[in-house]
Chains A and B, each alone.
Chain A
Amino acid sequence: MSTNDRAWVATRKGLFELRRRGGTWAIEHASFLGEPVSMFLPPSPGDSRMLASLTTGHYGTKLHASEDAGRTWAEVATPTYPTQPAGAEGPEWKLVLVWALERAGDTVWAGTLPGGLFRSADFGRSWQLVESLWNRKERLGWFGGGYPVPGIHSICAHPRRTGELLLGISCGGAWTTRDDGQTWALTASGMRANFMPPEMAGDPNIQDAHRIVRCAAAPDTLWCQHHGGIWRSTDNAASWHEITAAPVSSFGFAVAVHPHNPDVAWFVPAEADQRRVPVGAAMIVNRTRDGGATLETLREGLPQRHAYDLVYRHGLAVADDGEGLLMTSTSGGLWASTDAGDRWQTVSLNLPPAAAVRFG
C-alpha cells in the first residue's frame, strides 16, 4: 500500500477511508458513521495502527484505536485533565476537543482544547498531561481562536532529533521543546497579530497561528498560515518572516508543505476573517515554488461559481510524493490533485462537514 493512494477524511458524521485506484479517488469505507470525528492518526509505513477522536455531542471526547488500518476499532483511554485546584485561573480543566494527533517514534502526542498537550507511550491506552507546558504562566495569556478556549492544533515533530517538537496554538503562538517536553520556549518571534491592540500585536504568546507545518526533508523550514497572513521560518522557528506576495487573499486556515522541497507550499485562501468564504465564491489554491517570493493561483477543476466552501486547518494534505494533494471543506467538498495542484478533480460534494484529511 502506497501512502500516496490511501487517505482518510474526518467529518462531523464519521471517518471515511479513500482509495485511489486507476488514478481516481473514491470513498471506500466509513467508520463511526453518524459520530463527529475531530481528528485521527493514520497508519504509518509498516504499522497499521490508527487512532480516531470522537467528539460526541452528549458524552464528551472519546478515543478509539484500530490495529487493522481502520477496519475495526476499540475504545482506548481519553486524555483527561487532572483535578483543577481551587481558584485556578484560566479555562476549566476539562477536555473539549482533541485537535491534533501525531506520532514521533514510540510516542503519540495529542493537542487539545483547552490548551493541554498529552502524550502516550502505549498508543492511547494511557495518557499523561505535559505539565511542564500546562503550568507555564504564559498559558494564562492564551485565548480562544475559533473556539471559546485555546487549543493546540499543530504538532511538528523534528524528523531527525528525537524529543524535539514545535506546537502551533490558537491563540498562543508557537512553542518548542528540545528535551522531550521537559522545558519549553516560545518561538513565534516575527509574527504579528493586527487584531490586537497595537502594543500587543507583536507579542509572540498571543499569535493566532492557524496552522503550522514542517518540511520533512528540510526541517528548519516551517510554514504558518496565520490569522493575519502567511509566515515562514527557515531557522527552525527562531524567527518568522511574513510572506506578502499571495495573490487574491492571504487569509485562510490550511497550509501544506512539500515533503522534499521546503520552497514549495500550498494555501487555501478565504476572503477575510469577517467573511470566511472564497473570494468571489470561487475556490482557489495558492502555491509557491520559490519559498514565498511569488505565489500562483490554481483554479483548474475547482468550482468557480457559487462556491462557499471553507477549508479548515487540517483540510489540506500532501502525499509523500509531493504531487498528490487532497482538500476538503466544511461544506463537504473533497477535491484531489495528482500534479501538485495544477489540476483538481472533484471526489465528492456531499460529504458531511469535514475537519481533516490525511494520507496514510
Chain B
Amino acid sequence: MALISFTPQLQRFTSTPEVQCAAATLREALEAAFGVNPRLRGYVLDDQGHLRANVVCFIDGRRCTERIALADPVRPDSRIYVLQALSGG
C-alpha cells in the first residue's frame, strides 16, 4: 500500500491523517486522504481540483510537476509527501 502524508504546517488548520491506500495515481492517493478528512481537499486543491500553486507533492523523492490531472503514477510501496512551497514574509 502506498503511504501519503501531509506537511505538519497544515495541522494548525485541520487534521492531517497519514493514509495507506491502494492508489494508482497521485489523485487517487489524495482522494483517499480526503475520504478520511474531507476538509483537507480545499487546502490542497483549488476550486477546479488543481493542485494549489503553493503546494507541492513528492512521490518517492521525485517532485510532481503536473498540477491539473494529478496523474503521476503511484506504486504499491510509494511514499507520497504533500508539502508547502516556501513563500511569504
Contact = CB atoms under 8 A, between A and B. Distances in A.
Interface of A: 56-60, 62, 75, 78, 80-84, 92-95
A84 B48 contact: yes
B48 A62 contact: no
Given A60-B52, A62-B13, A75-B13, A81 B47 contact: yes
Chain B CB within 10 Å, residue with most, of A59, A82, A84: A59
B52 A59 contact: yes
Given A58-B85, A84-B48, A94-B47, 14 more contacts: A57-B54, A58-B9, A58-B55, A58-B84, A59-B10, A59-B13, A59-B84, A60-B42, A60-B52, A62-B13, A75-B39, A78-B42, A93-B48, A95-B47
A223 B48 CA distance: 37
Nearest to A78: B42
Contact of B42 (A62, A81, A82, A92): A62
B43 A59 contact: yes
Interface in B27-60: 39, 42-44, 46-48, 50, 52, 54-55
Given A75-B13, A75-B39, A78-B42, A59 B55 contact: yes
State the main secondary structure of chain B at its contact with A: loop
Interface in B51-89: 52, 54-55, 84-85, 87-88
Interface residues of B, number: 19
B87 A56 contact: no
Nearest to B7: A58
A225 B83 CA distance: 42
Contacts, number: 47
Contacts of B84: 58-59
Contacts of B47: 80-82, 93-95
Given A75-B14, A75-B39, A78-B42, A57 B87 contact: yes
Contacts of A93: 47-48
B30 to A, nearest CB: 14
Chain A CB within 10 Å, residue with most, of B42, B52, B54, B85: B42
Contacts of B44: 59
B42 A56 contact: no
A233 B34 CA distance: 50
A319 to B, nearest CB: 33
B85 to A, nearest CB: 7
Contacts of A62: 13, 42-43
Contacts of B52: 58-60
Given A60-B43, A78-B42, A92 B48 contact: yes
21 contacts: A57-B54, A58-B54, A58-B55, A58-B84, A58-B85, A58-B87, A59-B10, A59-B42, A59-B43, A59-B44, A59-B55, A59-B84, A60-B43, A62-B43, A75-B14, A78-B42, A80-B47, A81-B48, A82-B47, A93-B48, A95-B46
Contacts of B9: 58
Contacts of B46: 60, 94-95
A78 B47 CA distance: 10
Nearest to B54: A58
Chain B CB within 10 Å, residue with most, of A58, A75, A80, A82: A58
Nearest to A82: B47
Nearest to B49: A83
CB-based closest 7 A-B pairs: A59-B43, A58-B54, A58-B84, A81-B47, A94-B47, A57-B88, A94-B46
